[in-house]
């Protein structure tokens, strides 16, 4: 398989479901090579076949070894398991968590599966492998908006992120731009609850929609940034 050269850090997406395939598709539109993986290898190879040479399918262990930035596009409990299972291999990697800690309720909606005042970001931060760096990102919009609002020419839509490690801001912001969005850092991981489902800056929370950088500046700034 042809290796696509890029001078940017190597990015991978693990989990070829709704969000993972949308992120990989956006990255290809942004001309960024991406490694894709799933526990079912055929999902990764199928997407690579569909999206072309910028996409390289690998199994999960090889993906973790190869990539610098790893987007874990899987459910919250599966992320916890994966961080535990690959604790050694994930050392020093940038881990991107788009998860929302929710599950279907019995009324056709969703409920939080962690405490009301807890966030997935903070819980994952507390079990992070040594020297791994965590950003909460790419999860502030539902999958439909993540696909439809990417690469808008006139008014670029925003994706919010949080991280405690400001040395990775540039990497996360480039990743968001390569997905077709404008990055806005909300603060440290302790602000993650705001950008997860039901939070005040989530499409399925008080914000209720996609916003542009101009709207963020005019309406949400300065109380947005902690």
**Token duo for residue 206:** 């008080």
Residue pair 120/101 in contact (Cβ under 8 Å)? The answer is yes
Does position 121 interact with ligand NAP (CB under 6 A)? The reply is: no
Written as six digits, the tokens of 55 are 């996409």
Q: Which stretch binds ligand NAP (CB under 6 A): 86-94, 135-143, 165-173, 177-185?
A: 135-143
Q: Is 38 in the site for ligand NAP (CB under 6 A)?
A: yes
Q: Which of 25, 26, 63, 99 binds ligand NAP (CB under 6 A)?
A: 99
- How many residues of this chain bind ligand NAP (CB under 6 A)? 23
Answer yes or no whether residue 14 interacts with ligand NAP by CB under 6 A. Answer: yes
Question: What minimum distance in Å lies between the beta carbon of 64 and ligand NAP?
Answer: 11
Q: Which of residues 56-75 bind ligand NAP (CB under 6 A)?
A: 73-75
Q: Using the minimum distance from each CB to ligand NAP, give the nearer residue, 33 or 139.
A: 139
Residues 6+ apart with CB under 8 A from 56: 1, 3, 4, 33, 34, 35, 36, 48
Closest approach, Cβ 6 to ligand NAP, in A, equals 24
Angle at 139 between CA 40 and CA 132, to 5 degrees: 75
- Binds ligand NAP by CB under 6 A, chosen from 9, 18, 156, 169: 18
Cα gap 180→68, rounded to integer Å: 20
- Residue 18 or 169: the one with the smaller Cβ distance to ligand NAP is 18
- β 69-72/55-57 pair status: unpaired
- Nearest residue to ligand NAP, scored by beta-carbon proximity: 17
Least Å distance between CB 81 and ligand NAP? 6
Which of 33, 121, 129, 139 binds ligand NAP (CB under 6 A)? It is: 139
Interface with ligand NAP (CB under 6 A), residue from 82, 123, 149, 186:
82
Residues that bind ligand NAP (CB under 6 A): 14-20, 38-40, 43, 73-76, 78, 82, 98-100, 139, 142-143
């Amino acid at each position: 398989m042809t290796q696509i050269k890029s001078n940017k850090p190597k990015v991978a997406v693990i989990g070829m479901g709704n969000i993972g395939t949308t992120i990989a598709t956006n990255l290809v539109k942004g001309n960024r090579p991406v490694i894709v993986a799933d526990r079912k290898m055929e999902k990764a190879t199928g997407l690579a076949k569909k999206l072309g040479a910028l996409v390289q399918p690998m199994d999960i262990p090889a993906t973790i070894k190869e990539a610098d930035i790893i987007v874990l596009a899987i459910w919250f409990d599966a992320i916890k398991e994966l961080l535990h299972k690959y604790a050694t291999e994930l050392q020093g990697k940038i881990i991107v968590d788009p998860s929302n800690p929710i599950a279907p309720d019995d009324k056709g909606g969703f409920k939080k599966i962690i405490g009301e005042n807890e966030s997935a970001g903070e819980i994952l931060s507390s079990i992070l492998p040594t020297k791994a760096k965590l950003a909460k990102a790419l999860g502030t919009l539902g999958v439909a908006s993540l696909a439809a609002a990417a690469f808008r020419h006139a008014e670029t839509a925003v994706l919010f992120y949080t991280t405690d490690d400001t040395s990775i801001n540039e990497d996360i912001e480039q990743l968001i731009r390569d997905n077709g969005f404008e990055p806005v850092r909300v603060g440290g991981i302790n602000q993650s609850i705001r950008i997860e489902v039901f939070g005040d800056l989530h499409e399925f929370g008080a914000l209720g929609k996609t916003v542009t950088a101009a709207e963020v500046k005019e309406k949400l700034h300065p109380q947005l940034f902690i």
